[in-house]
Amino acid sequence: MTSIKKKNTGHRNRFTGSLLGKLLPEKYREAFIGDLLESYEARAADRRISAKIWLFFQLLSSFSSLLRKNFTGGVAMFKSYFLMAFRNLKKHRAYTLINVFGLAIGLSAAILILLYLQFEISYDRFHENADSVYRVCIRNIREGRLESESYVYTPPIGPDMKKDFPEVEDYVRMSTLRTAYLLVDNEAFNVDRISYVSPSLFEVFSFKLKAGNSLRALADPFTIVLSEQTAERIFGTKDPIGKTIQIGPEDLYRVTGVVENPPPNSTLQFNALISFATLYARPIMGMDWNGGNQIITYVKLGKNTTASSVEKKFPDFLWRNINEKIAVYGWKNEAYLQPLKKIHFYFDESSRIALVNFYTFSAVAVFILLIACINFVNLTTARGSRRAREVGIRKVIGAHRGNLIRQFLGESVVMTLLAFSVGIGAAFILTPTYNQLLDKELNPVKLLNLTSIFGLLLLILLVGVASGIHPAFYLSSFQPVKTLKGVFDSARSKKKFRNTLVVFQFVISVTLIVCTLLIRNQLRYINKVELGYNKENMVVIPLEDQNLRTRTEEVRTSLLSLPGTVQATASSDIPYHGFTSNGYIPEGYTNSIMIHALDADEHFLETYGIELVQGRNFSNEFATDKDAYLINETLARQLEWDDPLGKTIRRNGDREVIGVVKDFQFATLHNTVEPLLITNTPWRNEFYYLSIKINTDDIPGTLGSIEKVFKRFSPLIPFEYFFLDDAFDRVYRSEERFERIFQYFSILAICIALLGLFSLSAYTAQQKSKEIGIRKVLGATVPQILSLFSRETIILIIVANILACPIAFFVIQKWLDQFAYRSSISPLAFALAFVGSMAAAFATISYQSLKAALKKPADELRSE
């Protein structure tokens, strides 16, 4: 419009004005905008804002009245398009049903996956300071090589960073999570997820205190803040503030606050928080720079600072505090900051699973939707060519090409709309089942935000137009005379296009089948990996009672007198947990190396069935065994010790190696076996677990008598135990869950693809009905016709398989990377997928082709 270019008072609404002008005849446009501006200026002279508001409403109301004038005819036309669309869809019910149903399934699957993805993304974003909070992570470098990466570090790094870096506004220290018995009025409550934290937690993170003063709540030693859930569990409806809780034999804690339960999408989960100051009053680890690596440190940076500006100062900072001292051993620590928002996917070793799942499911969602949309496009285009005659008649009657285009687009948009409503409804209905499967609580209502609604509408339009655009433009270009005569292009190029899409669908489906099979393979394989120890019939009792921890030998002796028990051992940890690691200096080495350490009594090897390959086990007969080590084969190999016996390893003084045990897997199977040493002397003489090997004769009876023994030693604390193999399986449960969901979605994808194939074959059967009739007249047999029919599809499937193989191979190799123990990628999976897809495709099309082949040729050829 020329009027836009002209200089004027300048208002954004000018554009809207000119848009409105388009609804008016040419000759009025300029005047109309002029009127608007004149009135606006008159008003704006004294009250600018109210003039703007006036103008806005002017535009709005003008728009509505002008629109009404222009479109009373238009609306009627649209109505007719929609009506025709509905009538057409009703006339071809089977086609409509398959098309709508396929797209709806695909869509509801995509919505369900989207729900999960949205939940994953939402992690930790509810914190107000989410953008400025970082976690301090550490890389352990040895001789220039990355040895390990860790998110736990020594206690002083937080306060020292705040002291030295002006960028750091605040810090929060959190210990790793613990489990303890909370004693209140002679009643014990087993509470897990307990952490020692700094009082600044409530300022840096957005966890709200329900009761208590957030500034003072965790300031003093021996104060504790309970989560709402824990408070209710222990105190019921009573006010917990000021109450006393006993933890351990003597320590009394005062309840100073109740905090809201952390939301499910918080990476930080806790049931109780103990003031960090308590750790200084009653240390459970060294609290200086050489202390225990058990503290997670979060820092909050100031407004105008970046993580990299802090990271630049780390080398100097760490040199002063730690690297200077450990450099002689060849060690170096490096630090970096990890944004809070990324922590969910990088929290610890197991977070990798979340990340892998996230990417996998995003891909699956896109693929399922793609397959469903391709179906839709394929079916609509295929059927479109059957409507050539309709187009011809419409044209003869006087339809313009534009009318036809609008009609076809209208039809496909109506169909997509229908499919979307069905799909969304289905997603809502399926959510509870899906949540059960995922072990999450996802709420589909959360998806109803502006962005996703807009995205969905866009998708509807896109799919509708994409599938309608081809028939709309292609069919409308037919010459009526030709179409009415029945002579028109048989659309060979369109067929090529359809075939390409079919191949694409099957490439995805076959890839999914192969991946499902191989994932199953791997999970089976993991279950069979030789662990090197015996986990069957092993009852494990965590020793929560401090009193028991030092008296394990007594308990053990009483337990072994029971008829059902075979052997028992006390240890600081149990396999599959993964043991802590410390730095040690082995003989002949000048630098320290990281070695996992386990404290266990002399019965550990026998109870767990771990073989001794060299030397001897700990023994009561040698007083010096209290200061001796057993090492595993991996450590011996790593140290290049051919004869490890008699060699020494130093931590607090030199200690002698008296035996070598066969490697056993003490972490999850995501890791390989790492260096390990076993000592006979636990930290502060406390063992944390008692493992009891029992026989299978009378398990409930044995468990009952074990409980009686425990009650004798600690009457107050509830008896709790678990079977080691159960616990072990639980570690892989999330992977199994992942596998199951993946399997379901793959099956769904294949079904949708087959649905498409089914209706496409129906279409071809109809198109070729005359050809088949003639062939039969000329003497073709039913098998011949069948083979003629399926040949093309079979070729497509073969091509799809060939293309899918390398893709599946690549994808699964990436997935297997997360495991230390990998099953081989079996060619059987590929063969199975090939045969499976072929059989499924063949079965799908043979229904239609058989139907066509068995028809009497006379019926087909009679009608013209």
Partner 1 sequence: MTDKYISRPEEFVLLAVWKLKDNAYGITIRKAIQEMTGKYWSIGAIYVPLERLEKKGLLTSTNSDPSPERGGRRKRLFRITSAGMKELDALHRINSVLWKGYPALTPDENK
CB of 351 to partner 1, least distance (A): 59
- Nearest to partner 1 of 39, 638 (CB atom): 39
- Nearest to partner 1 of 39, 734 (CB atom): 39
- Nearest to partner 1 of 66, 820 (CB atom): 66
For 305, other C-beta atoms within 10 Å of its C-beta total 15
- Nearest to partner 1 of 39, 767 (CB atom): 39
CB of 62 to partner 1, least distance (A): 2
Burial of 38 (C-beta count, 10 Å sphere; 0-12/13-18/19+) = exposed
For 157, other C-beta atoms within 10 Å of its C-beta total 23
CB of 56 to partner 1, least distance (A): 12
Q: Given the rule CB under 8 A, which residues bind partner 1? A: 3, 6-9, 20, 23-25, 27-28, 30-39, 41-42, 58, 61-63, 65-66, 69
Q: How would you write 731-745 as a 3-class SS string?
A: HCHHHHHHHHHHHHH
- Nearest to partner 1 of 1, 861 (CB atom): 1
CB of 24 to partner 1, least distance (A): 6
N- to C-terminal Cα separation, the chain: 56
Closest of 380, 376, 369, 388 to residue 470, by C-alpha:
380
CB of 51 to partner 1, least distance (A): 14
Q: Strand pairing of 244-247 and 178-184?
A: antiparallel
The order of strands in the sheet holding 538-542 is 565-571, 689-694, 538-542, 722-723
CB of 445 to partner 1, least distance (A): 39
CB of 60 to partner 1, least distance (A): 8
829 CB contacts (<8 Å, ≥6 apart)? 514, 517, 518, 521
* DSSP assignment string, 623-652: GGGGGEEEEEHHHHHHHT-SS-TT-EEEES
CB of 32 to partner 1, least distance (A): 6
- Nearest to partner 1 of 55, 749 (CB atom): 55
Report phi then psi at 654, rounded to 5. Answer: -75, 140
Structure-block tokens of residue 225: 């803040």
- Nearest to partner 1 of 5, 303 (CB atom): 5
CB of 19 to partner 1, least distance (A): 11
CB 257 within 8 A of CB 214: yes
Sign of CA dihedral 270, 273, 276, 279: negative
CB 259 within 8 A of CB 207: yes
- Nearest to partner 1 of 65, 557 (CB atom): 65
579-584: list long-range contacts, CB under 8 Å, 24+ apart.
579/666, 579/667, 579/676, 581/148, 581/674, 582/651, 583/329, 583/331, 583/651, 584/649, 584/650, 584/651, 584/677
CB 717 within 8 A of CB 675: no
CA distance 769 to 775: 10
Q: What is the CA radius of gyration of the chain?
A: 36
CB of 72 to partner 1, least distance (A): 11
- Nearest to partner 1 of 52, 768 (CB atom): 52
- Nearest to partner 1 of 75, 396 (CB atom): 75
For 176, other C-beta atoms within 10 Å of its C-beta total 14
For 439, other C-beta atoms within 10 Å of its C-beta total 9
- Nearest to partner 1 of 70, 306 (CB atom): 70
CB 801 within 8 A of CB 510: yes
CB of 75 to partner 1, least distance (A): 16
Closest of 412, 390, 415, 394 to residue 403, by C-alpha:
394
CB of 6 to partner 1, least distance (A): 5
Helix axes 552-560, 699-713, angle to 10 degrees: 140
The dihedral formed by the CA atoms of 744, 750, 755 and 757, expressed in degrees to the nearest 10:
180
- Nearest to partner 1 of 9, 493 (CB atom): 9
CA distance 462 to 468: 10
Measure the CA angle with vertex 133, ends 130 and 135; round to 5°: 125
Structure-block tokens of residue 317: 């900072």
- Nearest to partner 1 of 19, 803 (CB atom): 19
CA distance 422 to 109: 12
- Nearest to partner 1 of 8, 477 (CB atom): 8
CB of 65 to partner 1, least distance (A): 4
CB of 400 to partner 1, least distance (A): 24
- Nearest to partner 1 of 63, 842 (CB atom): 63
CB of 31 to partner 1, least distance (A): 3
For 765, other C-beta atoms within 10 Å of its C-beta total 20
CB of 77 to partner 1, least distance (A): 20
- Nearest to partner 1 of 25, 73 (CB atom): 25
Place of tokens 């509801």: 108
CB of 7 to partner 1, least distance (A): 7
- Nearest to partner 1 of 31, 83 (CB atom): 31
Structure-block tokens of residue 505: 């669908």
Q: Strand pairing of 648-651 and 689-694?
A: unpaired
Report phi then psi at 94, rounded to 5. Answer: -60, -45
- Nearest to partner 1 of 39, 452 (CB atom): 39
Q: For 646-740, where are the E strands, in sequence order? A: 648-651, 653-661, 676-679, 689-694, 722-723
CB of 73 to partner 1, least distance (A): 14
